[in-house]
Amino acid sequence: DAKTTQPTSMDCAEGRAANLPCNHSTISGNEYVYWYRQIHSQGPQYIIHGLKNNETNEMASLIITEDRKSSTLILPHATLRDTAVYYCIVTSNFGNEKLTFGTGTRLTIIP
């Protein structure tokens, strides 16, 4: 799996959009970008994934650059409940049965 690089921590004001970057410059053509988050004392939670097109669901939007070397997870209207560690994971959807988590970005939503 390709290596990812994320900032260690970020703050965002409540109600504003939280933009979490991820670099994955060694991503290969068949690898997807997945995002998970882990709220304190809970297991990780799947958020969204994409290959090359931008994706949106009820939780977030995922913007992947055209060269696919980086991506941004967007939480459009952050709430205090979005305070968590966010993990960006690059993995193939074929024959890869485990998720390789890094240390993620600790996002703190400020009231």
Partner 1 sequence: DTGVSQDPRHKITKRGQNVTFRCDPISEHNRLYWYRQTLGQGPEFLTYFQNEAQLEKSRLLSDRFSAERPKGSFSTLEIQRTEQGDSAMYLCASSPVGSYNEQFFGPGTRLTVL
Which residues of this chain interact with partner 1, rule CB under 8 A? 32, 34, 41-46, 49, 85, 87, 91, 93, 96-104
| Nearest distance, CB of residue 49 and partner 1, angstroms | 7
Phi/psi-derived region of residue 95, left when phi > 0, alpha when psi is between -120 and 50, beta in every other case: left
Within 10 A of 98 (CB to CB), how many other CB atoms are there?
7
Of 28 and 45, which CB lies nearer to partner 1 in the complex structure?
A: 45
- Nearest-approach distance from CB 104 to partner 1, in angstroms: 6
Query: What's 84's DSSP letter?
Result: E
